[in-house]
Amino acid sequence: MLFGTSGIRGGISDKVTAELSMKLGQSLGTYLKGKGKVGVGMDARTSNHMLRNSFIAGLVSTGTDVVDVGLVPMPTAAYFSTKQGISASVIITASHNPPTDNGFKFFVNGREMIRLEEKRITSLVESGKFRIAQWSEIGRVSEAKIRDAYLHDLRQFLLKRDDRGGGMRVLVDAANGVASNYTPHLLTRMGFTVTTLNANLDGHFPGRPAEPSPRNLTDAMALAEARQFPVTLCHDGDGDRVAVVDEDGEFIDQNRVIALFAREEIRRRGEGQVLVSIDTSSVIDEVVKNEGGYVERAPLGSLQEKLANKDHNIVLASEPWKPIFTNLGLWMDGIVAAARIAQLVNSQGKGSCKKLMKSIPEYPLLREHIRCPDNLKKEFMRRIKGLVKEFTGVEKIIEVDGVRLEFADNSYLLIRVSGTEPKARLYIGARHERRLHDLADEARRMMKRALENCSNGD
């Protein structure tokens, strides 16, 4: 499978090669029939210049013009695809993956390509039937600096929602990624006093791994506590994610951050729908319902399918770490999310992230996985859907991506297979630790039984 749940990713020696990069450029140019312009950006990975050059060569060979926007965060590349005359934009990035990997993500009108569009690109890559421009029709390459325009529009969006920073201190851990040149500048322009960590661009990610998970944020968490920063904001390699740490160095669960954003957007509009991925917590449902809104869940990596349909009232969409503010655009944006959190800590938390988050419930969560070979995944899920009928107190079953059970006591359980790794994943949320462990024990037994039966052919 070429496209996964978040674009194309893989090792540069065995999947995301220069050869594939050129074919992707040829495929996109052929898909666009050589018309319009394509924006091309990249994060700071060491393989990006190689991939950018081969991708652009493929594009211009079809007669498609290219605007090279250089080193940009993923949200900035998506933003550029909304500009007049731009048919699509592409960023070369592997997001939070290790430095040995790279990848591509495609945008049209500010949103990620939907599955149908990705399938057409894949078909062209596989067939090799590319448009070939005549010598006089070869595409042209120009350059553009888009940071200031992007940050200006973000600042305008944010200041419609809240006041300036008033000098409040903020720590930004940019993971040596491209957000280093964006989030600190935006926050400074909004009146915050910014201290940075891991803010020099380096595709080796020397400061910490690019994924902003608690195990990778020990330095930021320690500094946040030692210096009592009111809030600490931590990015991944390309800026579509943000993680939040409070003044005591404690990591804030991403589901609570989504719930906070959802609450604020619904309050602004008086109503609305919140679209979240299947793996998110029921704390979002509780907060949204209290504000008069409602929640819909979609398969992981498929929010854009719903957003592409303009006939909706979605005020916020999000996967864990990656919110989409639909009034701004249809892309995941960790940079605007970081600034919005800082605003809320300043205005509602009175300079305390911990105080701000007291208004959002906190419940125990569990996330783990077992090994599940790719060739057994389909049968494994078939068996799981039969076994989960043994659970009692189930109010709702959602089967858009795996199987999610929602119980009368507001606990939930999700079992799904990974789209990118040989794993079956288990997610559980409950109001109390005892309930969490009871659900986990039963779910583990079911997953083990389902996998054993698959292996034995029973």
Shared domain check, 23 and 139? yes
Of the residues 6, 21, 95, 302, which is catalytic?
A: 95
Shared domain check, 198 and 214? yes
Q: Is residue 73 part of a domain?
A: yes
The total of structural domains in the chain comes to 4
Q: Which domain-ending residue is among 110, 145, 180?
A: 145
Shared domain check, 407 and 296? no
Shared domain check, 297 and 411? no
Is residue 412 classed exposed, middle or buried when 0-12, 13-18 and 19+ CB atoms within 10 A define those classes?
Answer: buried
Shared domain check, 243 and 263? no
Residues of the chain predicted below pLDDT 70:
455-458
Express the helix, strand and coil content of the chain in percent, nearest 5 each: 40, 25, 40
Shared domain check, 117 and 27? yes
Side chain identity, residue 193: T
Q: Is residue 1 part of a domain?
A: no
Q: Which domain-ending residue is among 270, 303, 330?
A: 330
Q: Is residue 14 part of a domain?
A: yes
Strand, coil or helix: what is 169?
A: strand
Q: Is residue 93 part of a domain?
A: yes
Shared domain check, 17 and 139? yes
Shared domain check, 227 and 262? no
Q: Is residue 337 part of a domain?
A: no
Q: Which domain-ending residue is among 113, 145, 177?
A: 145
Helices (H), 61-212: 74-80, 115-127, 147-159, 183-189
Q: Is residue 343 part of a domain?
A: no
Q: Structure pTM? A: 0.94
Predicted local distance difference test score (pLDDT) of residue 165: 87
Structural domain span for residue 402: 365-456
Shared domain check, 227 and 259? no
Shared domain check, 119 and 18? yes
| CB hemisphere CA count around 209 (13 angstroms) | 12
Predicted local distance difference test score (pLDDT) of residue 458: 60
Is residue 159 classed exposed, middle or buried when 0-12, 13-18 and 19+ CB atoms within 10 A define those classes?
Answer: middle
95 catalytic residue (yes or no): yes
Among residues 3, 202, 177, 242, the alpha carbon closest in space to that of 104 is found at 3
Q: Is residue 336 part of a domain?
A: no
Q: Is residue 34 part of a domain?
A: yes
CATH of the domain at 268: 3.40.120.10
Is residue 311 classed exposed, middle or buried when 0-12, 13-18 and 19+ CB atoms within 10 A define those classes?
Answer: exposed
CATH of the domain at 445: 3.30.310.50
Shared domain check, 294 and 224? no
Shared domain check, 30 and 44? yes
